[in-house]
Amino acid sequence: MSDVKRALFLSTGDRYFALVANFVTVAIVSRILTPGEIGVSVVGMAIVGIAMSAREFASANYLIQRHDLTREDVRSAFTVMLVLISMISIALAATAPALAGIYDEERLVAYLRVISLSLFIELIAAPILTLLRRDMAFGAVAIINMSGAAVAAVVTVTLALLGFSYMSFAWAWLCSALTTGLLAIALKRQVWMYRPLFDHWRDMLTFGGYNGATNMLYKAYEALPYLLLGRVLSLDAAALYNRSLMICQLPDKAFLGGAMSVILPAFSVETRQGRSLKQPYLKALGLITALQWPALTVLAVLAYPAVDILFGDQWGAAAPLVQIVAIASLFSFSFELNYPVLVSLGAVRDIFLRALIVCPVSAGILVAASFYGLQAVAWSLMIVMPFQAFVSLSFVRRHVRIAWSEIAAAVWRSGVVTVAALAGPLAVVAAGAGFDMPIHMAVTAGVFAAAGWMCGLWLTGHALFDEIVTTLSGLRSHLPRLAGMA
């Protein structure tokens, strides 16, 4: 058990380090580059994201799930990945001029070609990282990933300051790929895995079939707004929309990023032991909404100072978008749970069917909205998010007997907690500060929100309050021992 806890701790620390490094980088570079310059990288990354999703057809996770792993399995997996990623990289580099022509933006050519080289170089570390995860060697994985994230952050900021503009992101990715590849080889000197072998290629492609198709659908849908906005409106619009989504995704990444690495294994254990996932799922919904809903609603109120603090005053046009997207994102409360539930129940096909339903419909709504401007795209999420939530929950309810009334009963306390957290910031706005309030007033509103949130948890007897008390008690009991060690 201690090994598992240590692995989860290292994995969570790895993810949070990457999250913080990436966001600090974005915050700094957003003050150096213009929205138009960043728009080039946003549109470029949308294109690259679709190309990258094809890698899941040859997912390295095939090596993790194999019961008895041989050298031949590893070599075959690497060979399949080598062929597929080579095709993706060559195709991306070759079509770069045509893709740039769609946007009448020659700057995309160099960006896409450097990224295509980076994708190929990332292949060096991929099989080694997978084998390290299989062996629960998360310490080595953390060293490799954190080093890559640190290099990417330093290179991006340095090159941006030196005038490399949007290419700072591309060159940083290349440097990060080289760093992780060299470190992976240094930590696990097993170059035999790079010898091509085609013996088990069918097994790997079969494993990656549904997963690859699902991933491609979602990546294409995620990239669509940036591709549309960059083509129909401007690169500035794509950049503004990107920054708006980035801020609104912070609560999920900050609060749920580490927890997600625990949820799938926990649900899988429940399933293997023949127990229903109903109660764990409902409890998780209650805990998630108690964190996510207050954070998103308070963010909607403090959108103007939040954008100013995080990105600088040149991004002020993103604040109204943040307000809209934050409210729409309230309906995403179950998204992080639905995938682990369906996977643990073996319903991988249903995950693909869900994507077949939500992605085309959601894409159609976004396409229609894009012709009416940037705010229309943001407002369209008020339709898209509830629709996706309804479909996703319906698929879960096909496998876990949960009534809609039971879902409501699981989250109503979180609704009260959200109102309590929101009361203070709204009072500051009503007192004359307005939504575009100065920073010191925003800090005051944030303090009121935190106090209201804690009061709401206590008054409703929310399960999250008990979790907080238990955690604090555990920390308090460890303080004397830590002090003695010091």
Same structural domain for residues 205 and 329? no
Q: Determine the Cα angle at 165 with ends 164 and 168, to 5°.
A: 65
**Domain-terminating residue out of 203, 233, 263:** 233
Cβ of 65: how many Cβ atoms within 10 Å? 10
On whether residue 240 sits in a domain, the answer given is no
On whether residue 241 sits in a domain, the answer given is no
Same structural domain for residues 198 and 288? no
Same structural domain for residues 353 and 216? no
On whether residue 264 sits in a domain, the answer given is no
What is the rounded average pLDDT of the residues 306-312?
90
Same structural domain for residues 292 and 148? no
**Domain-terminating residue out of 233, 260, 294:** 233
Q: Taking Cα atoms as reference points, which of 276, 286, 277, 280 lies closest to residue 409?
A: 286
164: left (phi over 0), alpha (psi -120 to 50) or beta: alpha
Task: Name residues whose C-beta falls within 8 Å of residue 86's C-beta, 6 or more positions apart in sequence.
Answer: 120
Same structural domain for residues 145 and 208? yes
pLDDT of residue 201: 62
Per DSSP, 430 falls in state I
The answer on pLDDT for 365 being more than 90 is: yes
Cβ of 371: how many Cβ atoms within 10 Å? 11
Element (H, E) at 383: helix 374-399
pLDDT of residue 256: 65
Confidence tier at 197 by pLDDT (50, 70, 90): confident
C-alpha to C-alpha distances, 139 to 15, 17, 184, 298, nearest whole angstrom: 13, 14, 12, 36
End-to-end CA distance of the chain: 26
SS3 (DSSP) at 52: helix
Q: For a pLDDT cut of 90, what percent of the chain falls above it? A: 45
Same structural domain for residues 34 and 157? yes
Pairwise CA distance, residues 438 & 130, whole Å = 48
On whether residue 126 sits in a domain, the answer given is yes
**Domain-terminating residue out of 233, 263, 293:** 233
Confidence tier at 386 by pLDDT (50, 70, 90): very high
Higher pLDDT, 374 or 485: 374
Mean pLDDT of the chain: 84
Task: Name residues whose C-beta falls within 8 Å of residue 245's C-beta, 6 or more positions apart in sequence.
Answer: 325
pLDDT of residue 38: 92
Same structural domain for residues 306 and 229? no
Higher pLDDT, 473 or 105: 105
What is the rounded average pLDDT of the residues 171-175?
96
Q: Which domain holds residue 172?
A: 1-233
On whether residue 243 sits in a domain, the answer given is no
Q: Encode pLDDT of 431-458 as tens digits.
A: 988 899 999 999 999 999 999 999 999 9
On whether residue 299 sits in a domain, the answer given is yes
The answer on pLDDT for 202 being more than 90 is: no
Choose the weakest-confidence range: 12-16, 35-39, 375-379: 12-16
Same structural domain for residues 183 and 46? yes
Higher pLDDT, 78 or 134: 78
Domain count of the chain?
2
Q: Taking Cα atoms as reference points, which of 141, 117, 108 lies closest to residue 39?
A: 108
On whether residue 255 sits in a domain, the answer given is no
What is the rounded average pLDDT of the residues 331-337?
88
Confidence tier at 277 by pLDDT (50, 70, 90): confident
Per DSSP, 105 falls in state -
Q: Taking Cα atoms as reference points, which of 291, 296, 313 lies closest to residue 245?
A: 296
Task: Name residues whose C-beta falls within 8 Å of residue 301's C-beta, 6 or more positions apart in sequence.
Answer: 422, 425, 426, 429, 435, 445
What is the rounded average pLDDT of the residues 124-153?
82
The answer on pLDDT for 267 being more than 70 is: no
On whether residue 116 sits in a domain, the answer given is yes
Q: Taking Cα atoms as reference points, which of 417, 399, 275 lies closest to residue 345?
A: 399
Same structural domain for residues 205 and 290? no
Same structural domain for residues 466 and 354? yes
Same structural domain for residues 285 and 221? no
Same structural domain for residues 70 and 148? yes
Single pTM value for the model: 0.80
The answer on pLDDT for 1 being more than 50 is: no
Task: Name residues whose C-beta falls within 8 Å of residue 41's C-beta, 6 or more positions apart in sequence.
Answer: 111, 166, 169, 170
Confidence tier at 313 by pLDDT (50, 70, 90): confident
pLDDT of residue 485: 46
Pairwise CA distance, residues 380 & 123, whole Å = 38
